[in-house]
Amino acid sequence: MLVHIASPSARPKWLRAPAPAGQNYAALKRLVQELKLHTVCESAACPNVGECWNQRTATFMILGNVCTRRCGFCAVQKGPPLPVDEDEPRRVAEAVAALGLRFAVITSVNRDDRRDGGAALFAATIRAIRERVPGCGVEVLVPDFQGSHAAMEIVMDARPDILNHNTETVPRLYRQVRLGARYERSLDMLAFAKRIGPETPTKSGLMLGLGETRAEVLQVLTDLRAHGVDILTLGQYLRPSPKHLPIARYVTPEEFGAFKRDALALGFGHVESGPLVRSSYHAAASAETMSAPA
Number of domains in the chain: 1
Which pairs count as long-range contacts for 98-101, CB under 8 Å and 24+ apart, including other chains? Answer: 98/31, 99/24, 99/27, 99/28, 99/31, 99/56, 99/58, 100/56, 101/56, 101/57, 101/58, 101/133, 101/136
Question: The domain spanning residue 66 has which CATH number?
Answer: 3.20.20.70
User: Is 157 among the domain residues?
Assistant: yes
User: Is 3 among the domain residues?
Assistant: no
Burial of 72 (0-12, 13-18, 19+ CB in 10 A): middle
| Full residue range of the structural domain in which residue 177 is found | 21-291
User: Is 120 among the domain residues?
Assistant: yes
pLDDT score at 15: 74
Task: Convert the pLDDT of each residue in 196-229 to its tens digit.
Answer: 999 999 999 999 999 999 999 999 999 999 999 9
User: Is 69 among the domain residues?
Assistant: yes
Would the pLDDT of 150 be above 50? Answer: yes
Q: What is the mean pLDDT of residues 122-132?
A: 97
User: Is 6 among the domain residues?
Assistant: no
Q: What is the mean pLDDT of residues 271-276?
A: 94
User: Is 196 among the domain residues?
Assistant: yes
